[in-house]
Structure 1
Amino acid sequence: MKRKDAAAPDPTAIGDVSSPPFACLPDPASLFSARSLRFRQLAEASELAPYLNFLAGLSLAQHDIQAGLPPADGPDAAALTRAREFEMPPIHRHGMEGEALNTIFDRLFAAADAIEKPVPAAAALARVAAADRQERLVMADAVLSGALPPDAIAEHIFVWAGLQVHFARLASLLDAKKLTPVADGVCPSCGGKPVSSMVVGWPGSHGARFCSCSLCCTYWHYVRIKCLLCGSTKGISYREIENQGGTVKAETCDECHGWTKIFYQNKEPAAEPVADDVASLGLDLLMRDGPYHRGGFAPLLAGF
């Protein structure tokens, strides 16, 4: 496997950028079904087909279980005002003891039982489905901390999938125009870490870069050639696997020695930050033995 290094700034044209919005909120009614289709598409030509097809099923389950759920209960006016005043995300990542999340877990774990999966994954699902509410909340806290226990990754992936549904529904209730930057590498809706970023081809935002939250799936605008992890504009370079069309690169930073994936949706319109992250595992393998550590949060690749 060869790589292509680029010590110079990202050569992709930046002049096309118009006036992108700061944030784009998720639409839970279409988000997970579209991701499922992308997983299926990517599986058709991938050595990771069994895993990608499993994740397609899990994404479809995330979509299906929303039917009949009671409306999400978003932040009240006081919480929104306080968040703006103190430059905090308006969605709290803790205090999830309510019934809504447990209902999502119950529905998702039941739906996931019908997905074709390896025996170890089936055993992990059985364990998390049998866990009581407090045990699930402990696992949820581990997911929110961005550190999955090495001996229970599969269980926590199922919990992460439930949390995504819960937080995407909450984020969809926000007013995108009132969201403001919080910090580098922090989602302005929920405080989650990014799974990756994308240079998009969206009307009105062509050539702009957006980060994608690994938890609530909010997109937020972030300038190009700037470290997503520490905010540095020095020592930024790009690495990629040769002959891949330049649709995905590793953006590296010599200041914090971190790297994150950047997808070029303006070149591959079907690109989706979570599905394409898994399908581009080869880039992770390329970077694994180098001097940089991967930043953000990519739970679906935690076991690789």
Structure 2
Amino acid sequence: MSGFHSLQPDPSMIGRMLKPPFAVMPDPVALFRQRAERFSVLAGGSHLAPYLDFLAGLSRLQADLAAELSPAEAIPTEQVQRARENRMPPLDRASLAGDAGLRALARRSLEDVAALSMPAPAAAALTELRQAKPEVLDRMIGDVLADSIPADALPQHLFLSAAVQVHGARLASLLDPKQLVPVETGLCPCCGGPPVSSMVVGHQGAEGARYAACAFCGTQWNEVRIKCLACGSTKGIGYMAPESGEEATVKAETCDSCRSWVKILYQNRNPVLEPVADDVASLGLDLLMRDTEYRRAGFDPFLLGY
């Protein structure tokens, strides 16, 4: 296939640990600071530099906001236990729509973001958001929470996604990872969201294990290698990368059963890879995949519209 080096299923290092930790919860401040640093590095020499620099600034603001806010209120113990018993995510995203605390956080985030340099259309979208009535803001936040973002309002929802990510990561950080259980293949056990990408990690205690990453709440959870994160199939799984991609650290994991694909990052080969930043920076892979029969199953609010 032109533009690609097609790879066979990758059975190497399927997991050296008998049972790696199932879930890793985010440290919100560290999460967004590391993401900002990675965006900044990736911007150097990239044709996406203006956008990556903007996202670096946005991520820094997310980190600052997470550091300055009063402690979040933990999800009630009874809700967590009930979710565990029913194999459901304890963080109910739908219930956050219309939440006054989230709306206030979003308002503050929008004020902070105004300091960033951005194109005129994005600045106009931001002004519109800052002037929006509460019910309008709640509706748009609801779209973000549902991963259902209108194509005619992408900039507005990108700004709100940044605020919602801070809120989600703060709530997730208060959960005991041992209380989380698998819900469905490819769904975050904390909030039920789809993965932005997955990573083969190399850190002690989980060498060679694969973790899917949630863009909404920052939770990472263990998934079996060579398995579709969209349908759960373990058959017809392949890997595609740009030509000469045998040593590529970002690949498209494809599934012949449901014809979907999700990016897989080999953090065990390059420890600085970050699930959201490197997803955006590897946009070229998305553009190449458009010419295939596979559809993207990973969800990244910072890549909508591309």
Contact 1:113 1:125 in 2 (8 A): yes
TM-score under structure 1 length normalisation: 0.96
Number of the residue aligned with 2:249: 247
Matched, 1:258 2:260: yes
Unaligned runs of 5+ in 1: none
Are the equivalent residues in 1 in contact too, given 2:13–2:209 (CA < 8 A)? no
- State whether residues 23 and 180 of structure 2, in contact with CA within 8 Å, keep that contact through their aligned partners in structure 1: yes
Give the drift of 1:17: 4.3
Q: State the match for 1:99 in structure 2.
A: 100
Asked if 1:174 corresponds to 2:175, the answer is: yes
The correspondence of residues 255-294 of structure 1 with structure 2, limited to 5 A, is 255-294=257-296
Structure 2 equivalent of residue 186 of structure 1:
187
- Matching residue of 1:55: 55
| Pairing 1:19–2:19 present | yes
Partner of 1:163: 164
Please give the residue correspondences for 1:1-304 in structure 2 after superposition, counting only pairs within 5 Å.
2-6=3-7, 8-14=8-14, 16-17=16-17, 19-96=19-96, 97-243=98-244, 245-304=247-306
Contact 1:101-1:163 at 8 Å conserved across structures: yes
CA distance in 1, matches of 2:187, 2:145: 12
User: Cα distance, 1:12 vs. partner?
Assistant: 3.6
The aligned length equals: 303
Deviations 1:202-232 (A, max 9, x none): 1111110000012101000001000011100
What is the RMSD computed on CA atoms of the aligned residues? 1.4
In 1: Cα distance, 2:282 partner to 2:64 partner? 27
Deviations 1:255-300 (A, max 9, x none): 1111000000011110000000000000000101210100031111
Which amino acid in 1 is paired with 2:262?
A: T
Deviation per CA, 1:43-78, whole angstroms, max 9, x where unpaired?
012110000000000001111123432221121121
1:18–1:204 Cα contact (<8 Å) kept: no
Cα distance 1:191–1:55, how it changes in 2: closer, same or farther (>3 A)? same
Cα distance in 2 between the residues matched to 1:157 and 1:17: 38
- State whether residues 185 and 296 of structure 1, in contact with CA within 8 Å, keep that contact through their aligned partners in structure 2: no
Distance 1:207 1:189, change over 3 A: same
SS state at 1:20 partner: coil
The Cα of 1:15 is off from its aligned counterpart by 5.3
